[in-house]
Amino acid sequence: MDSTSAPTSNKPYRASIVWRNVAVMSILHAFALYGITIFHRLRFYSIVFACLYHFVSGLGVTAGVHRLWSHRCYRATRPLRVFLMLANSIAMQNSIYVWVRDHRVHHKYTETSADPHDAKRGFFFSHIGWLLVRKHPDVIQYGKQIDLSDIENDPVVMFQHRHYTAISLFMSFVLPTVLPVVLWNENAWTAYFCVGVVRYLYTLHSTWLVNSAAHMWGMRPYDKTIQPRENYFVSWFSLGEGFHNYHHVFPFDYRTSEFGSGIFNLTTGFIETCVRLGLASHCRRPTDETIKRRIERTGNISLAN
Ligand SMILES: [Zn+2]
Ligand SMILES: [Zn+2]
């Protein structure tokens, strides 16, 4: 899934704004800003719950739709796949099916007109702007050529795709509002705005930083000819997805980094725990020798990157 030759089409293109998406995103951000102002009203248990809920939904993105379904870095048993599907639904970043298609085309045509969040179009576009405009025709054309047969054969993924709106609204907004109210008597209004909306947008921006910041700022030790970078700041927020120069060179590595698990890569620790529990297997990674040879051949380890 390395980036290959750029699409050659020169179709005239002018981004047309999808006002419905602009309105939804604007309202969500306004709600989140309001939520931040009342955050101090949250009960202690609700704060702990919001952090945990963010963490679980983050795993649904990183260990789930990214490393398992997009890149097939490891195999997961059905109970783990169901857990990751539900966790992914909390994150509400489109269905797994759509996310995988967008992500595979991103890897195959990185920073070309077929890249859904082409970082050459600037920070704003690669972070959130790409969700507010119609897709470039090349994204649609090349996206249709992506092989998704493995995804189509996974009943857990296709179940989520068929019932995406209901499942994700329930997991992302209904459950985090109702549970704190029922379990420790939280105020429903506060739970909705803080544990629901603020937590949702926090996870969204943490993910979006991978497409924006990790394609702009950081070192390129593995391949200095591509734009994705190693960015610890992004790794912290995205549970280990900021080692992006490495990831674009070795996308099949379940660790997304040669340095394994740790506080900057909690997802790798999660996958390794699942292996110990018998829930995951067949973790893929390059040999240390392969990584070393690649650094020598294409990397740039100088600080003047
Ligand atoms: Zn990328
Ligand atoms: Zn990837």
Q: Tens of pLDDT along 26-68? A: 999 999 999 999 999 999 999 999 999 999 999 999 999 999 9
Centre of ligand 1 to C-alpha 77, Å, is: 27
Cβ atoms within 10 Å of 44's Cβ, excluding its own: 8
Q: How far is the CA of 23 from the centre of ligand 2 (A)?
A: 29
Q: Is 302 left (phi over 0), alpha (psi -120 to 50) or beta?
A: beta
Of all ligands present, the nearest one to the C-alpha of 70 is 2
Tell which residue, 92, 75, 97, has the closest CA to residue 146. Answer: 97
Mean confidence (pLDDT) of the chain: 94
253: in domain: no
Q: Please give the tally of structural domains in the chain.
A: 1
Q: Ligand 1 centre and the CA of 244: distance in Å? A: 6
Query: How many Å lie between the centroid of ligand 2 and the Cα of residue 24?
Result: 27
Tell me what pLDDT residue 14 has: 82
Cα(126) to ligand 1 centroid in Å equals: 10
The Å distance, Cα 178 to ligand 1 centre, comes to 36
263 within some domain = no
Cα 228 to ligand 1 centre (Å): 6
The closest ligand to the CA of 109 turns out to be 1
58-103 pLDDT, tens digit per residue, is: 999 999 999 999 999 999 999 999 999 999 999 999 999 999 999 9
**CA 31 – ligand 2 centroid, Å:** 30
pLDDT digits (tens, 9 = 90+) for 105-122: 999 999 999 999 999 999
189 closest CA partner among 41, 55, 50: 41
CA–centroid distance, residue 20 to ligand 2 (Å): 28
The answer to whether position 37 is within a domain reads yes
Q: What is the pLDDT, as a whole number, of residue 13?
A: 78
- Please report the pLDDT score of residue 300 as a whole number: 83
pLDDT at 260: 81
Taking the centre of ligand 2 as the mean of its atom positions, its distance from the CA of residue 209, in whole angstroms, is 13
Query: Cα(217)–Cα(166) distance, rounded to whole angstroms?
Result: 37
When pLDDT is averaged across residues 226-234 and rounded to a whole number, the result is 96
Q: How far is the CA of 43 from the centre of ligand 1 (A)?
A: 38
Distance 71 CA to ligand 2 centre (A): 7
Evaluate whether residue 280 is within a structural domain.
no
Distance 69 CA to ligand 2 centre (A): 10
CA distance 264 to 232: 7
The ligand whose atoms approach the alpha carbon of 226 most closely is: 1
Residue 86 CA, ligand 2 centroid: distance in Å = 20
**Distance from the Cα of residue 302 to its chain's centroid:** 29
- Ligand that lies nearest to the alpha carbon of residue 118, given by its number in the listed order: 1
8 Å CB contact between 231 and 217: yes
**Any domain includes 247:** no
Per-residue confidence (pLDDT) for residue 9, from 0 to 100: 56
239 Cβ neighbours under 8 A, 6+ residues apart = 55, 58, 59, 62, 206, 265, 266, 267
Out of 211-215, 273-277, 293-297, 300-304, pick the least confident. Answer: 300-304
Query: Residue 28's domain spans which residues?
Result: 19-218
pLDDT number for residue 8: 57
Count Cβ atoms below 10 Å from residue 179 Cβ, excluding itself.
Answer: 16
> Residue 52: exposed, middle, or buried by beta-carbon count in 10 A (0-12, 13-18, 19+)?
exposed
Instruction: Determine the Cα angle at 108 with ends 122 and 123, to 5°.
Output: 10
Tell whether 147 is covered by a domain: yes
pLDDT at position 290 over 50 = yes
Separation between Cα atoms, residue 292 and residue 211, nearest integer Å = 26
- Mean pLDDT value across residues 254-283: 95
CA dist 173 and 61 (Å) reads: 17
Reading phi first (left if > 0) and then psi (alpha if -120 to 50, else beta), residue 110 is in beta
Work out the average pLDDT over 10-23: 86
pLDDT digits (tens, 9 = 90+) for 218-228: 999 999 999 99
- R_g (Cα) of the chain, nearest Å: 19
Q: Give the distance (Å) from ligand 1 centre to CA of residue 296.
A: 22
Of all ligands present, the nearest one to the C-alpha of 73 is 2
Q: What is the token pair recorded at 58? A: 């983050």
Percent of the chain whose pLDDT exceeds 70: 95
Give 6's DSSP letter: P
Amino acid identity for residue 27 in this structure: I
